[in-house]
Chains A and B, each alone.
Chain A
Amino acid sequence: MAKIIDDETIENVCILAKLSLTDEAKEKAKQDMQKMLDYVEKLDELDTDGVEPLSHIFGDENVFREDVVTNGDNREAMLMNAPKEKEGQYQVPKTIG
């Protein structure tokens, strides 16, 4: 049996994801997540004894770049993505260190 997504789990996921959901949305999310887990559980039927865990699906290894500066000052363009800007910096709600 897959893990049951209960109210506590949904609360915890909301805290971690910094989301505040309405009760209705929470109920829907619960059902969606349950479906995902049930689906994943299907994979447990496979016999994976002796199969190495896989973290990357392509066989690539050692994709490197050399230590050479290729980017210049692109601040103006970068700050166009900022919701608010002040003195060349991204302005965000007060955050306590």
Chain B
Amino acid sequence: MKQYETVIGLEVHVELATKTKIFCGCSTEFGGAPNTHTCPVCTGMPGSLPVLNRQVVEFALKAGIAANCQINQYCKFDRKNYFYPDNPQNYQISQLYLPICHDGWVEIETSAGKKKVRIHEMHMEEDAGKLIHDEWEDCSLVDYNRSGVPLIEIVSEPDMRSSEEVIAYLEKLRCMMQYLGVSDCKLQEGSMRADVNLSVREVGSETFGTRTEMKNLNSFKAIARAIEGERERQIELIEEGRAVVQETRRWDDNKESSHAMRSKEDAKDYRYFPDPDLPPIHISDAWIDEIRSSQPELREEKQLRYQQEFELPAYDAGILTESRHLSELFEEVANLCGSPKKAANWFMGEVLRLTKDKGLDVEKVSFTPEHLSDLIQMVEKKEVSAQNAKKVFEKVFDEDIEPVSYIEEHGLKIVEDTGLLNDTLQKIMDENPGPLEELLGGKEKVFGFFVGKMMRELKGKASPDAVREAIVKEVEKRKNQ
């Protein structure tokens, strides 16, 4: 059997986090009632005039600079002509001839090490409306709320060789966009979408095989499955001596198979031409410098800083920086409590555990940093047991309660007063004459029994050390009586 290599390039659409659409003042908010965010511009009414949202250019520049791209300082928009009901103008405003960014790269990390994936280009364009099929009347219904929402399309070179590399690349882009604040990149809501261009060739071959393009991939898992499925389909065709047809295929994740969408006969002929309604864009050196200097700290820089400034292990730095939002919360807690490693343990342990258990989006995690910092310090000062602190933190996590007064009010504070300890011990010893006799007789095993009883009775109000000490003292005393 011949050995085959998979060659993959990606077209990733990222919905930009602007407040308004790319060419009109309609809201981009997700989930509005159908067609409540529309106007003559984004529904393609004759005579309407698109005006470019400056923020779109800024976001595209931010993304391009972060991905080490060259900037086309003179760029413009083109019309891509096609008929489809989700596209009311019968053309999509996009960029073909002079995309805003080109020739960049990002570095991905896979089990085989680091690798650069080159970016062919990034261009700005508008999103289309949403079509739903109406079974009842056997027709289609169109909602234009999404029509005109700004996108950047990031086109990679065919540099990826496996689904693992593809996922690593997508995760890299998503993390970068989230850090930049350019997009939230939610695959489920469609704010990040990927089309996969895939071909196979014999290992060692220098030329590419015929590629297909796969659409409708809306989760990382679906993308991985589609890549495996398409690789196998193409190898099978080649082994049977048949040719791979260049076509667009639609992945059906339920059936775990794809089918052809458009055939070659219906080849794309988009008849691009410059959009006369939109004047060209001139991006000055000063504008680029301004954006360059306002770029936030990206994940890689943050990871390094955590290792140097906070003296955290690389592993911790990696986990804590997966989400910019969480890393910012962590930094506040770390600085407040003065112990980055302890804060890191709380985040990697409790914060992430609760986020997962409660099925929460990590971006939605929110509590007052002082509250966790106070809790960490109380554990440190042995004012609350680690076990109780975890229980109290769940309250902080859920309701953002104030932990210091909560611990006081609920009697969870460790008492240093030996009166309560001794009273409890006397009571337990009175209730358990058998084990007491064994304890006094020198049986070490029952020691643990008394410690356990005490801890349960005191509900964490005393530290195990204090309890042990009290028992030892009492035993000595009774022996000497």
Contact = CB atoms under 8 A, between A and B. Distances in A.
Interface of A: 12, 16, 18, 55-56, 58, 60-71, 73-75, 78-79, 81, 86-95, 97
A66 B282 CA distance: 17
Contact of A91 (B19, B139, B279, B281): B139
A74 B38 contact: yes
A78 B35 contact: yes
9 contacts: A16-B81, A16-B269, A61-B282, A63-B278, A66-B54, A71-B25, A79-B35, A91-B137, A94-B138
Contact of B279 (A63, A79, A86, A87): A63
Contact of A75 (B38, B54, B280): B38
Contacts of B20: 67-70
Contacts, number: 127
B25 A16 contact: no
Question: Does more than half of chain A's interface fall in helix, strand or loop, or is it mixed?
Answer: loop
Interface stretch (B141-149, B169-177, B318-326, B336-344): B141-149
B38 A62 contact: no
| B interface, over-half SS | loop
A69 B45 CA distance: 19
B280 A89 contact: no
Contacts of A16: 81, 269, 271
A88 B83 CA distance: 22
Determine the interface band of chain B, counting residues with CB < 8 A from chain A.
35 or more
A60 B279 contact: yes
A93 B53 contact: no
B85 interface: yes
Contacts of B27: 69, 71
B42 to A, nearest CB: 9
Contact of B144 (A18, A66, A70, A90): A90
Interface string B40-59: 10010100000111110100
Contacts of B53: 64-67
Nearest to B23: A65
B144 A67 contact: no
